Structure 1
Amino acid sequence: MDRILEADRVLVGPAGDVRERTAVAVEGDRIAAVGAADELAARYPGAQRLSFTGSTLMPGLINSHVHLAADLTREPFATLRTRSRAEIVELVQTNARACLRSGCTTVRDLGDAHGVVAQVRDETREGAAAPTPRILAAGTPLTITGGHCWFLGGVADTDHEIRTAIDSLAASSDLIKVMAGGGQMTPGGPSEFDSQYTADQLRLIVDHAATHGLVVAAHAHATPAILDCIEAGVATIEHCGWRSGPQQRDRPVAAARRMAAQATIAGDTTPPQWRRMAERITFPEGFRFGDQIRWMTDHGVAHVIGTDSGMPNALFDQFRASLELYEDLGFDRAQIIETATSGAAGLLGLGAITGAVGEGLAADLLVVDGDPLDDLDVLHRPSHVIVGGRIYSQEDLAEPAVADPHLP
């Protein structure tokens, strides 16, 4: 059924492009036209008219870093490792629905196992009834023996093993994920300050992924691993914290300028509970939580916003809470919204598909009460979420995410 959606205003996508008293015509899963409601009604005489007084119509949000197969607990991949495939699929669907509740109509999943997220993605594309966002799936991340998340099955140490792993992932993956550095979830493995692959190995990963038409997202907290990722030409550097040790914050200006020059994207991973985390971290004098984002932006580095949802207590339906950091860092609301919509779509290769309100783009839209340019809080629970032309209310999407009550 064709629909005409009317609202007090439409945020088209790029910052500052606001249309007052405007409507959007939706045909199937696409935006057919944007214009005055009466004019659209005349063009589409059989269309259903839906009026949202006091509301804003805007592009759906894009969460660039989630783990849909993770369960929010202290061992977030326990369900993935121990339960039946049917139970894991149910978990992925539950978490995907939670993303929609928060207004995220597109998510980029950066690590699972056994292709379960890709399965849910494909079922959604084939018209499955379960509501899910548009999903970009990286599949199983590459890592070294005993390295970060080795238990997911992506161990690849030699050049031959790296090529073979990428060849295996290519058919079902939208991109390749590599653990360029260590992390905090693998007892006995490399720490977040350690590198796992050399710059030459990372370059091999980038080059071989490119033979399949895929880009590479690299997990890297620490400065040495980040520098290797820049040298190798990965598409996005996830976390990108610029740290070389506990309480050590680095600001290598030449490296940031090189990132900007070669269009390497910083993948921010601010979890919803970032304020509580910031209270527990000791920072060097003159530094605070998240200020590497402001520093990189000031040096021309583009970034996308993710939440690392699925990790301990990083809830899937609290994307608005992660956006609070950007207000705290001095970004204006229009800039934040652009970063989380059309900006992210363009950087992630989706600009011709979604991310804005424009003719021919996917009908991935939000209806929010009030004006998010006045108050970002209205993004917390959009009254309606539209993905691929399918309209869901919050009641349709209601299903509480389960978090570990013992975690902060």
Structure 2
Amino acid sequence: MELLISAGRVLTGPGGECVDDGAVLVSGGSIAAVGTRDEVEQVAPDGVRRASFPEGTVLPGLINCHVHLAFDAGPDPITSLQEADNTSLLLGMAGRAQQALAAGVTTVRDLGDRGGLSVRLRDAIAAGVLPGPRILAATAPLTPPGGHCWFLGGEVSGEEAIRDRVRRNAASGADVIKVMATGGSLTKGGAATWQSQFTTEELHAVVAEARRAGLPVAAHAHGADGIAAAVAAGVDTIEHCTWMVDGGFELRADVVADIAAKEIHVCPAASHNWRRFAEYFGTERAEQLFGQIRWMAEQGVRLVVGTDAGVPGSVFDGFVGALELYEHLGLSLDRVIDMATTDAARALGIDADTGRLAAGYRADLLVVDGDPLRDLSALHATRLVMAAGRPYGNGAVDGS
């Protein structure tokens, strides 16, 4: 479709770059023009459909760097997954993808599912069969026998099995390789959250085999030792990065310096429920954890936003609430928005065609009431969402 969207401001990104009284011309699945309303009007075809939001803001579609569409965000998502057949699970995943899209999220990176269902859903959305955000799929995450998220089918033991699993994931259509470098609280009976699950040499094997397939590597790593090993192995992103040790935290300045120098992106994967962390673990421990994120940002670590959507309580339409954590930590609003758009696109390797509003880019965008550069809560007031040029929901697309 062709659509001319005008608004009080167009946030093109990055760094809060904004066009007042701006417009975006969408043609098919791409952006044809961006600029002032007068400039875009001059190149718009006669009779083009219009949507006007004089008090609103157009900005790039949001990117959630860490979700699990196979999990239902209920109190026991693992049992729900294990009891579901593939057909019902896929339907649930499609519904959750639409929840994310309705909240302005036009790209999600799914970091672990069962049976490659995220690839099937990705392809159906890309073909226009189903509405939804762009999906980057990891398929089955690599984990030791009985390790974190073993039930997703990615159990491996030894370098030969690791390389074989990476090759099989790539052959099944994976966009990214996920490895569980440490344990996690979601898996009963496995390694403790802070404990390493792979040696540095094994993580090197993951990265090397992924590179042969042309794929990036995302490492789930809570423990300080696991984080250090993942950095040494050369992964592309570190998920969680909480610096846990037995009984507390141990932030390692030398490893943080390596993360920054190697331009490894860190996704804390904090959900919209981040305020409740203090209720569960105590105010002092919560402030220590949040302080680590702040300090990494100050040291030049490239942070991006993900929510671990699908785990208990982390719903798929809660992305904006998760952004508020970084405002709480003192980051400027333009940086927070970049972390969910331009920076996220760079971390995921898709910055050549999304993450900002520019001619030739995918038409991934949303329109909100108000100005999110002044008040982040404006992102809750979604008026229109487009993913690859397809409008979703009840947003106005024929003038107002």
SS in 2 for 1:45: coil
| Larger displacement relative to structure 2 (106-115 or 69-78) | 69-78
Query: 2:336 aligns to what?
Result: 336
The separation in 2 between residues aligned to 1:184 and 1:145, in whole angstroms, is 16
The separation in 1 between residues aligned to 2:4 and 2:96, in whole angstroms, is 30
SS in 1 for 2:185: coil
Query: 1:274 aligns to what?
Result: 274
SS in 2 for 1:151: helix
How much does 1:289 deviate? 4.1
Q: How does 1:82-97 map to 2 (within 5 A)?
A: 82-97=83-98
Query: 1:62 aligns to what?
Result: 63
Query: 1:371 aligns to what?
Result: 371
How much does 1:286 deviate? 10
How much does 1:52 deviate? 1.2
Query: 2:166 aligns to what?
Result: 166
Query: 1:204 aligns to what?
Result: 205
Query: 1:231 aligns to what?
Result: 232
Gaps of 5+ in 2: none
Q: Do the aligned residues in 1 keep the contact of 2:341 with 2:356 (CA within 8 Å)? A: yes
| Larger displacement relative to structure 2 (61-70 or 83-92) | 83-92
How much does 1:126 deviate? 1.4
Query: 1:402 aligns to what?
Result: none
The separation in 1 between residues aligned to 2:395 and 2:76, in whole angstroms, is 30
Query: 1:80 aligns to what?
Result: 81
1:15 and 2:23 correspond: no
Structure 1 residues 164 and 102: CA distance shift in structure 2, 3 A:
same
The separation in 2 between residues aligned to 1:268 and 1:187, in whole angstroms, is 22
Q: Aligned residues: percent identity?
A: 43
Query: 1:117 aligns to what?
Result: 118
Q: Do the aligned residues in 1 keep the contact of 2:19 with 2:36 (CA within 8 Å)? A: no
TM-score (norm 1): 0.93
The separation in 1 between residues aligned to 2:229 and 2:50, in whole angstroms, is 53
The separation in 2 between residues aligned to 1:309 and 1:381, in whole angstroms, is 21
Q: Do the aligned residues in 1 keep the contact of 2:278 with 2:286 (CA within 8 Å)? A: no
Query: 2:223 aligns to what?
Result: 222
Q: Do the aligned residues in 1 keep the contact of 2:242 with 2:289 (CA within 8 Å)? A: no
Q: Do the aligned residues in 1 keep the contact of 2:383 with 2:395 (CA within 8 Å)? A: no
Query: 2:191 aligns to what?
Result: 190
The separation in 2 between residues aligned to 1:287 and 1:367, in whole angstroms, is 34
Query: 2:139 aligns to what?
Result: 139
Q: Do the aligned residues in 2 keep the contact of 1:101 with 1:381 (CA within 8 Å)? A: no
Query: 1:27 aligns to what?
Result: 27
Q: Which amino acid is 1:13 matched to?
A: G
RMSD: 1.6
SS in 1 for 2:288: coil
TM-score (norm 2): 0.95
The separation in 2 between residues aligned to 1:13 and 1:236, in whole angstroms, is 22
How much does 1:113 deviate? 1.0
The separation in 1 between residues aligned to 2:181 and 2:381, in whole angstroms, is 35
The separation in 2 between residues aligned to 1:289 and 1:195, in whole angstroms, is 19
The separation in 2 between residues aligned to 1:173 and 1:211, in whole angstroms, is 13
SS in 1 for 2:305: strand
How much does 1:269 deviate? 0.7
The separation in 2 between residues aligned to 1:190 and 1:119, in whole angstroms, is 31
How much does 1:42 deviate? 3.4
Q: How does 1:314-393 map to 2 (within 5 A)?
A: 314-393=314-393
SS in 1 for 2:193: coil
How much does 1:78 deviate? 2.8
Query: 1:181 aligns to what?
Result: 182
The separation in 2 between residues aligned to 1:14 and 1:277, in whole angstroms, is 31
| Larger displacement relative to structure 2 (310-319 or 44-53) | 44-53
How much does 1:132 deviate? 0.5
SS in 1 for 2:341: helix
Q: Which amino acid is 2:181 matched to?
A: A
1:301 and 2:301 correspond: yes
